[in-house]
Structure 1
Amino acid sequence: MVECGAASLSMILQYFGKYLPLSDLRYQCGVSRDGSNMLNLKKAAIHYGLNVKVGKQRPREILDGKVDFPCIAWWNYNHFVVFESTNGKFLRIADPGGGKYKVSETELSNKFSGLLLQFNKQDTFEKSGRPEREILNFLPIIGGYQVSIYFLLLISTALLVTSLATPGLSGAFVQSFLGDQRYELGLPIMWLSLLMVILAASLTSVQLNVVRRLALSIQRRLSVEISFKILSVDYQFYTSRFIGDIASRLKLSENIANTLINQFLIFVLGLIGAALIIPFLLLISWQLTVISLIYVLVNITLASIAASMLIDSNRSIQVELGKVYGITVRMLSDTRTIKASGLENRYLSTYQDFYSPILEKSQEVQSKMNSFDFLTDLSNTLYNYGTIAFSGFLVMQGSMNLAGFMAFQVLRNEITGPLLSVSNLLDQLQQAEAELGRLQDLRLVENDPKVRSLDQYKSQLVDSKLNFESDNKQTQLKINKPKSISVINVDQTFSPLSPNVLTDINIRIKDGELISIIGPSGSGKSTLIKNLVGLYQPSKGQILYGDHDWMEYDDETIRRSFAYVSQETNIFRGTIYDNLTMYNDNYDLDHVREIAKIACFDDVVMNMPQGYSQYLGDNGNGLSGGQLQRLSITRALLTAPNILFLDEATSALDVPTERMVIQNIKNLNLTVIAVAHRLLTAKLSDQVVVLDKGYIKESGHPNELMKVDNSLFKQLIDQED
C-alpha cells in the first residue's frame, strides 16, 4: 500500500483536530509509485504545524508508555502504521492496510523496526476540517430519483391502510363475531379480509418491482460513472495499485446499489410506516406502546454499539479484499511462468498470506456479532412474552378488550419489525461506507487532461454530483497530424520530495527520423518515452508535437498520429485477425497482410493451420515471445501513424529478424522513437540519445559518437560486442 505513510499521518492530524483530504496528504508526503519515506512524513507533519521527534525505541519502552501516543512506526520493514495506545501487555495499532488490532510484546519485537515518529502541536497549529462520513455520499446518488421515491412513499401510505384494516377486522372477528355472537358480521369480515389481502399483495408486488428497477438503474449509472472515471484517471493511478484492486472497484456499483435500495430505502419506508402507526397503538394502550418503544430503543442502542466497534474491521476487510483480487489476477496472468518455474507453492503461500487476514478479521467480526445477536434474541424473547402477559393483565383489569388485544398483537410487528432490522442494516451500511470510501478515493484521483476520447459520451451519462467528468477546456486548433517532436527543458519526478528521474532533457526529433534512446538500466529510458507518448506529464518543461502543445490538437488528430508498442505484449483471447484489427471492420485481409509483412509476421501466420483465423489463448498463448512482439508491431502499424514509439518492442526477436523489421519500418519514412536495450537498432538510427541517471550524457549520429574517445555509447557498444 503505497499510501500507508500519508494515511498514517492523516490519523495523527485527525487526533490533533485537523482533517484533510488524503489527496492533499499524498502530495505533501511525496507519495509516488514507490510510496513515501520517514523523512518526507516528517517534513509534511512540520508543514501542517506539528513538532516531530524521530528516533529509536525498544518494544518494552513502548509497552510501558514511555512514548507520546499516537505515533507513527515503520512496521514489518515494509509500511507505516500508527501506535495508538498500550495497557502494558498489549499495544493497539491502527494499520492503514489492516485495520485496528492488538499485538503482544513478542509480535511487537518481531515486526517493529525500531524507528518511530512522535508528535506534538506547535504553537501555530490550527484545527480545521471535520470528519468525513462516506455514508452521506448516498444522498447525491439518489438525488436524481425523486419521482420513484415519491411513488414508493405513496405505495407505503396505501399499504398503511391494509396494515390498519387487518387488526381491525381481527378484533371485530374476536369481539363481535365470537364474543358477542353477531354471526351476521362473519361474511362481511371474511370478504373484507380477502380484499385487504389482495390489495396488500398487489401493492407489495408493485413496490418490489419499483425497487428492483430503481436498484438496477442506480447500479447501471454507477457502473458507467466508475468505468468512465477509471479510464480517465492519470496513468500513475495504475502503476501504484494492483490490477485486481482496480478491477474490484467496478463491482462497487452492485454492492452500493443493493445496500442503498434493497436495504436502506426499504428500511426508511418501513420506518415511515411505523411512525404513522404509533398514534393508533397509543389509542389501544399507551403502556404497551411505551414498552414497545423502549424495546426498540434497547435494540437500536445495541446495534449502534456493535456498528461503532466493527467499522474499522469492515474497512480493513475491504482493503484486504482489494489485495486478494490483485494477487489473484496476477496469479492467473502469470500461469505460464508459475508452471515453468515450479512456483506453485510460493504463489499459494503468497495468496494465503493475503487471504488469512480476511479470515481472521471476519471471524473477529462474527464473534462480536454473535454476542450482540445473543443480547438481541434475549430482548426479543422478553418483549414477546412480556407484552402478551401484560396485555392479558390489562384485559383482566378491564383496561383493554379482546379486540384491542388482537389489534395490538398484529400492529406491534408493524413498528418493531422495521426497527428491529436496524441491526442488520447498520452492518450492511458499515460495509457500504467502506465501499463508498473506496469510491471516494477513486473520485479524488485527478483526471488526465489528455484523455478526451470519452468526451462524446458525457452527454449520455446521468447527471451526477460525484463529479466523475474530466475538465478539458483548452481550445483545440485545426492542425494537421504532427510528424516531429521537440523536448524542451523537461524534468520528471513522481513526487515533490523525491529526486528527478529525468533532468533538463532537450531533444529535437525531425520528421522521418529514427531515433534511439539508450542507456544503462534505470537511466530513465522508459520514463522518457512514456512522457513522449503522453502517459506521463512532465514535472517541468514542455513537449511540442509539430511545434504545438498536445492540448492544442483535437483528440482524434493527436491520437491517430501515434502508435505505441510497449515492453509488455497485450493480447486477448481471440483470433490473430481480431487481435490485429481490434475488431475494426475498416481493415481488409489483404491490407492486414501487407502490413504484417513489414513486421515479418505474415509468414508466421500463414504457416499456421488456420492462418489469420488461428485462435489464441489468454496472453497470446500459442505464439512465442518474438512472434507476439511482431503481432504488436503489426497492430501499431495498421493505424497508419506518423510517429511510432517502440519501448524495447524488439527485445525478443533474433538479430536477423530485428534488423529486417527495423529496416522495413525505416523505409516507411515514419518518425520512429525506439528505446533499445540491445544496440542493433541504435546502429541503424539517424540519432542516438544516451541517458545516464536521468541526464542526456551524449547525443548525435551513431557513427559520430563512435569516433568520440571514451564516449558512453562506444562503451556500451563494446560491452555488447
Structure 2
Amino acid sequence: MTTIEQDALGGDSGGRRQVGADHPLVLSGAGSSWRVTSGIVEVFAVAASDSPDLARLHLMTATPGTLLFGSHEEADHDFRLLAVGGPDSTVQIVPIVSDEAQEARRRWFAELAGSLVGGSVTAARVADASGSEAQEMTLNRAIAHRREQIESEDFARVSAQRATRGGALAAGLEQLGSLLRSDGDQPPRTKTGESVLVGAFQVVANAQGVSLTMPSSGAADEDPLTALARSCGLRTRRVRLDEDWWRQDCGPMLAFLEVGHHPVALVPVGSGRYQLVDTAASARRPVDGPLAASLERDAFVIYRPLPDGPLSIRTLLRAGLAETRADLLMLVGLTCGSGLLALAVPLVTGQIVGSVIPGANRSQLVQLTAALLVATVAGALFQLATSIAVLRVQGRLDRYLGPAIWGRLLALPTSFFRRYSAGDLAHRVLSSESMVQLISGSAVTSVLGGTFSIFSFGLIWFYSVQLGIAATILLAMMIVVTILAGRVQLHRMQAVEDLAGQLNGMLLEFVSGISKLRVAGVQEKAFYRWAELFTAKRRHWNSVRSVENLTGVVTAAFPVVSAIVLFAVVGLSPRSTLSPGAFLAANAAYAQVAVAMVTMANSFNLVVRTLPGLQHLRPILAEVPEEDVAKFDPGILEGRIEFSSVSFRYQPDGPLVLDDVSIRVAAGSSIALVGPSGSGKSTLGRLLLGFEEPEHGAVFFDDQDLSGLDIRAVRRQLGVVLQSVELLPGSVLTNIIGSAVNLTVDDAWRAAERAGLAGDLRAMPMGMYTAVSEGGSTFSGGQRQRLLIARALAGSPRILLFDEATSALDNATQAVVAESLVKVRATRILIAHRLSTVMDADRIYYLEQGRIVEDGSYDELMALNGAFASQARRQLT
C-alpha cells in the first residue's frame, strides 16, 4: 500500500483512538486520512444501509505506518469503509493538505479496486479512471461485482453439497443393493438425471484415471461428447472400428450400438480382450465377433493430455512412463529372473572344469548338461517375454505421448507460432515422437542390461576379489570412454538438429511457393540456399558418424581385450590361488557382464544421439497453453462486444499498432472497420479472437473481460473468415462442418445457401462430397471465399468476424451474402476496403495509424466529408 511522508499530509493534527472490534471506525471524509500507529487493522466494505457489524467484505490488512483514506460523505455509494482492529490497535487522524496526498488517496482507492477485480470485468477501467471520485465509483462497482461473485460461488457450493449428499445416498443404496446380487462386478447404473452418454463417458474417463466433471451450462449448445471431454480435460478422436479390432489394445473407447445409437464404453481388460460396458443396463459383456458386429463403425478414442503449465523433458518422460508402470515392474521381474538363470552358465562351467572332468564323472556331466539346457530354454522364454514387454512399453508410450504432444502444440497461443516456421515445428514434433519411442526402448534396454549384469558381476567377486577389482577397473574405463564419446556426439548432433529444423522450414516454404519462385526466376538461388544448409548438416552428421564408428571399434574390442587382461592378471600373479574351474567360471560371468556393458554403451550412444532432437521439443513444452482450466466459461454469448482503451504493439520495442482504441458493439448490430493498410483493422480482429493480448485496455464479451474467459468457449461461438485462411484437404462437407458431430449434411446445405454456394455445388457431380485438394486449387477464388463463409455460418454463431471475406465475389453474389447476413441474428464485424461491403453497416469506424479518426453511419461519414468520404469517392468514380 502506498505511504506518504508526514510533511506531505500536514502533520499530526489529530489524536489517537482505538479501533478494536467493539469500536470500529467508519472511514468517511475526503479531507482526512488515518495512520495506523499500533497493532493490525483490517479494512472492510459494508453495505451503506446495513449495520457495520454485518455483510463485511474484506479489502486489506493495514500494518503500523499504513495510511487509510475515507470516502466522500456526499457520494452516492452502495458501500462504506470500515476499519476494525484488535485490542491494541490504534490510529491517528492526519488531514490531507497537499496535491501529493490527494494523488496518494486516488492510488489507494485504485489499488483497493484492483485487488478485488484482478483481471475481470472492470480491471482495465481501474487504471484508466482519473480522480479520487472516479476511483471511488470504480471501487463501488468492483465491490458490487465481487459480492455477486461471492453469492454465485456460495450458491454453487451449496448446490454441489446437495448433489454430493444425494450422490452419496444413491451410492450407499447401490452398495446395499449389490448385496442382493450374485454378480459383484456389475458396472454402476447411470444415475438419475444423467444421460446414457454421460454414464458411458464416465466409464471411459475412469479407465484413463480421470474423474468425471460435468460441463457448465454455458456449453448447452455444444456437442455433448465434446463438452464432456473438454470439461474433463480430455481430447477425442473419431476412429473406424475395423475387422477384429478388439483383438488389439487400442485403449478405452466410446462406441454406439447400431440399434438406437446407444452409447456404450469399450474398455480393454487384457491382452487382446475388450469388455463392453452398458451403464444404462448395468451390464458388462466380453466383446466377440457378433457383439462387435452390433456396433456402429465409428467410435471415439479418448486421450489424456499432458499436465498444464510449463513442462520439462523430464516431466514429459515421467508422464509417459507413468502409463507403463505395470509393464516396467514386470520387466524388472523378468530381468531379475533372467539374471539368476544366467548364473547357471558360469556355475556349471566351474563345476564341470573343477570336478566333473577331473573325476571323469559322466553321469554328473549329463545332469549338468540337462540343467544347463533347461536354464537356456527358460532364459530364452524370459528373453521373449522381456522383448514383448519392451514392445508394450513402446506402444503405450507412443499411444499416449504422440497425441499428447500434438495436443500440446495445438493448444499453444497463436503468438508462439510466429517464432517458428511450420516446417521447423513439424520436424520438432515428428522427430520427437520417434525419439521418445527410441529413447524409451534404449533406456529400458540399458536398465535391463545393467540389472541383468549385477548378478554376474557379484559372482566374479565371489570367486576372486582380485578379478573383481580388475573387472571393475575395466568396466569403469569403458564407461568413461562411452561418456566422452557421448559428449562429443551430443554437441555435434545439436548442430545437426538445428540445421534440420531450418532445412525443413525452408523446404516447406519452397514447395508452397514454387510458382512464385518460377515467376521470379530465382530457382537457382533457392537451390543454392538449400545446398548450403544441406551441406552444413551433412558435414556435422559425418562427424557424428565418425565418432560413432570409433565407439563401435572400442565396444567390439572391449570383450576380447578385457578377457586378455583377466587372463594376464591371473597368469602373472604369483600369489593367485584360483583354481582353473573357478577362473573359468569367473571368466564366463565376466563375459556376460562385458556383453551387457557393450549393449548398454550402444544404447547410451543411441540415446545421446537422439537427445538434441528431444531437446528441440523444449520450447513447445515450456510455452503455457492458452487453455486455462482456471478461466471462466462465458456461457451463451448475447453478442455485446467492447474494445476499452485498447493499445497494442507486436514487439516490445516496436511502434503502436493500436493506440487507445475504444469501440462498443451492441448485440445483433453490425460495424465495419475501414482504413488504409496497416491502420490496425486486422489487429483488432486478432485481439477479438484472443490471438494477441492488448498492451493496455481490455476486450469485453457481454461485459466479461476476455483475459479471464475460456478462449475456446468464446471462439466456439464465433464465425470467422480471415484473409489468410485456406481450405482443408477432404470434401466440401468436411470443410463446412469440420469435426462437429452435432452438425449434419442438412446444416451444411443451409450454410451453403446462405453463402450463395449451393447452386455451384448442385452443378458438381459429387455435390457436397466434392473433393477439395490441398489449398482448394480446384475451386475459383470466389468459390473458396463462399466456402469459407459457409463454414463460418454453419454453426449459427453469435458473432461473425469477416476480414476481407467477400473481396473475390462479384456484386451479385456479394448481394446474396449480404442479404443472408442481415437475416442472421448475430453481431457482425466487417473488415474491408470495398465500399459495397460496408455501406449497410450500422456504424463505420475509420482507422489511421492505429487510431479511430472518424466513426458514424455511412451517410453521416459522407456528410462529414473527411477521410472516409475521400476514400469512398475514389471507389464511386
- Aligned-partner Cα distance in 2 for 1:326–1:414: 47
Give the alignment of 1:466-505 within 5 angstroms.
Answer: 471-476=628-633, 479-505=635-661
Secondary structure of 2:617's counterpart equals helix
Residue from 237, 254, 264 that aligns with 2:433: 254
Query: Partner of 2:7 in structure 1?
Result: none
Give the Å deviation of 1:398: 7.4
1:441 aligns with 2:619: yes
Contact 2:803/2:830 (8 A) holds in 1: yes
Q: Does 1:611 align with 2:747?
A: no
Q: Percent sequence identity over matched residues?
A: 23
- Render the CA deviation track for 1:413-456: whole Å, top value 9, x for unaligned: 222223334443333333443244333322221221xx3xxxxx
RMSD: 3.1
Distance in 2 separating the partners of 1:135 and 1:426: 17
- Given that residues 475 and 552 in structure 1 are in contact (C-alpha distance below 8 angstroms), is that contact kept between their aligned partners in structure 2? yes
Tell me what 2:469 maps to: 290
Compare 140-149 and 301-310 and name the one that shifted more: 140-149
Structure 1 residues 620-631: aligned runs within 5 Å: 620-631=776-787
- Which structure has the larger Rg over C-alpha atoms? 2
| Alignment deviations for residues 489-511 of structure 1 (CA, whole Å, 9 cap, x no partner) | 01112343333221101112223
Are residues 353 and 656 of structure 1, via their aligned partners in 2, closer, same or farther at CA, if it must alter by over 3 Å? farther
What is the 5 A alignment of 1:121-160? 138-139=317-318, 141-142=320-321, 145-160=324-339
Counterpart-to-counterpart distance in 1, 2:532 and 2:711: 44
**CA–CA distance in 1 between the matches of 2:349 and 2:511?**
62
Q: Partners in 1 of 2:528 and 2:357 — Cα distance?
A: 71
Letter in 2 for 1:473: A
Contact 1:481 1:557 in 2 (8 A): no
1:678 paired to 2:834: yes
- For the Cα contact (< 8 Å) 1:515–1:672, is it kept in 2? yes
Alignment CA distance shift 1:366-1:431 (3 Å): closer
> In structure 1, what is the Cα distance between the partners aligned to 2:398 and 2:746?
44
**Counterpart Cα distance in 2 of 1:614 and 1:544:** 40
User: Aligned in 2, Cα 1:679/1:428: closer, same or farther, shift over 3 Å?
Assistant: farther
- The CA distance in 2 between the partners of 1:710 and 1:339, in whole Å, is 44
Does structure 1 conserve the Cα–Cα contact (< 8 Å) formed by 2:563 and 2:587? no
Inter-CA distance 335–650: structure 2 relative to 1 (3 Å threshold) = farther
2:534 is equivalent to residue 352 of structure 1: no
Q: 1:271 aligns with which of 430, 447, 450?
A: 450
CA distance in 2, matches of 1:297, 1:584: 60
Q: Which moved more, 1:141-150 or 1:663-672?
A: 141-150
Residue 717 of structure 1 deviates from its aligned partner by 4.5
Closer, same or farther: CA 303–347 of 1 in aligned 2, 3 Å: same
Q: How far is 1:639 from its partner?
A: 1.0
The answer as to 2:670 corresponding to 1:514 is yes
CA distance in 2, matches of 1:343, 1:593: 44
- CA gap of 1:299–1:589, structure 2 versus 1, over 3 A, is closer
Check 1:702–1:355 CA distance in 2 against 1; reply closer, same or farther (3 A cut): farther
**Counterparts in 2 of 1:691 and 1:350: CA distance versus 1, 3 Å:** farther
| Structure 1 residues 591 and 136: alpha-carbon distance in aligned structure 2, compared to 1, 3 A threshold | closer
Q: Which has the higher contact order (CA 8 A, sep 6+)?
A: 1
Asked if residue 569 in structure 1 is aligned to residue 725 in structure 2, the reply is yes
* Mapping of residues 206-245 of structure 1, within 5 Å: 206-245=385-424
Aligned position for 1:548 = 704
Alignment partners' CA distance in 1, 2:616 and 2:709? 34
The aligned residue for residue 413 of structure 1 is: 591
Give 1:406's aligned amino acid. Answer: L
Task: Tell me how far apart the structure 1 counterparts of residues 788 and 516 of structure 2 sit (CA, whole Å).
Answer: 21
**Residues 327 and 152 of structure 1: CA distance in aligned 2, closer, same or farther (over 3 Å):** same
**One-letter amino acid matched to 2:839:** K
Mapped to 1, the partners of 2:746 and 2:565 lie a distance apart of 86
- The question of whether the paired residues in 1 share the 8 Å contact of 2:432 and 2:613 is answered with no
Change in Cα spacing, 1:593 to 1:262, as seen in structure 2 (3 Å) is closer
Residue 170 of structure 1 is matched in structure 2 by: 349
- Alpha-carbon deviation of 1:393? 6.1
Give the alignment of 1:77-96 within 5 angstroms.
none
Alignment of 1:699 onto 2:855: yes
Equivalents in 2 of 1:684, 1:182: separation in Å?
109
Aligned AA (1:561): Q
Q: Which structure carries more helix by proportion? A: 1
Contact 2:643-2:698 within 8 A present in 1 as well? yes
SS of residue matched to 1:684: coil
| Higher mean displacement: 348-357 or 639-648 | 348-357
Contact 2:633 2:713 in 1 (8 A): no
- Whether the 8 Å contact between 1:483 and 1:545 is mirrored in structure 2 is yes
Following superposition, the deviation at residue 645 of structure 1 comes to 0.6
User: Is 2:347 aligned against 1:191?
Assistant: no
Distance 1:717 1:511, change over 3 A: farther
CA separation in 1, counterparts of 2:315 and 2:830?
A: 50
Is residue 2:495 matched to residue 1:316?
A: yes
Where do residues 581-592 of structure 1 align in structure 2 (5 Å cutoff)? 581-584=737-740, 586-592=742-748
Q: Does 1:689 align with 2:868?
A: no
SS in 1 for 2:396: helix
Q: Which letter does structure 1 place at the counterpart of 2:629?
A: N
Unmatched runs of 5 consecutive residues or more in structure 1: 1-131, 452-470
Deviation at 1:526, TM superposition (A): 1.3
Task: Name the CA distance, whole Å, in 2 between partners of 1:327 and 1:218.
Answer: 31
Could you say what secondary structure the match of 2:616 adopts? helix
Partner amino acid, structure 2, of 1:614: T
**2: CA distance between counterparts of 1:193 and 1:400?**
24
Measured after TM superposition, the shift of residue 133 of structure 1 is: 9.6
**8 A contact 2:721–2:805 mirrored in 1:** yes
The DSSP-based 3-state class of the residue aligned with 1:677 is coil
TM-score by length of 1: 0.72
Distance 1:371-1:595 versus aligned 2 partners, 3 A rule: closer
Aligned to 1:707, what secondary structure does the other structure show?
helix
Distance verdict in 2 for CA 1:583–1:308, change over 3 Å: closer
Q: Which moved more, 1:286-295 or 1:515-524?
A: 286-295
Letter in 1 for 2:602: N
Give the C-alpha shift of residue 379 in structure 1: 5.2
Secondary structure in 2 matching 1:488: strand
> Does the 8 A contact of 1:216 with 1:257 survive in 2?
no
Pair 1:513–1:146, CA change in 2 (3 A): closer
Q: Name which of 438, 456, 460 aligns with 1:281.
A: 460
Q: Which residue of 2 aligns with 1:4?
A: none
Tell me by how many angstroms 1:380 deviates.
5.1
Summarize the Cα distance change of 1:588–1:366 in structure 2 as closer, same or farther, 3 Å threshold.
closer
Deviations 1:524-581 (A, max 9, x none): 2211111112222222212122333346767786344310111123322222122222
Matches of 2:390 and 2:623, distance apart in 1:
32
The CA deviation string for residues 570-599 of structure 1, in whole angstroms up to 9 with x for no partner, is: 322222122222254544545433331222
Relative to structure 1, is the Cα distance of residues 688 and 225 closer, same or farther in structure 2, using a 3 angstrom cutoff?
same
- Please tell me the residue identity of whatever aligns with 1:413: A
Partners in 2 of 1:440 and 1:523 — Cα distance?
Answer: 36
Q: Is the CA contact (8 Å cut-off) linking 2:844 and 2:858 kept in structure 1?
A: yes
Q: How far does residue 239 in structure 1 lie from its aligned partner after superposition?
A: 2.2
Which of 757, 782, 794 is the aligned partner of 1:638?
794
Moved more, 180-189 or 508-517: 508-517
- Answer whether contact 2:675 2:833 (CA < 8 A) is retained: yes
Partner of 1:427: 605
Q: Displacement, 1:618?
A: 1.6
Return the alpha-carbon distance in structure 1 between the equivalents of residues 741 and 324 of structure 2: 40
For 1:498, the aligned partner's letter is G
> Conserved in 1, the CA contact under 8 Å of 2:312 and 2:622?
no
**2:441 partner letter:** N
1:270-325: per-residue Cα shift (whole Å, max 9, x none)?
Answer: 22333333232123333333333222222222222222233232222222222333
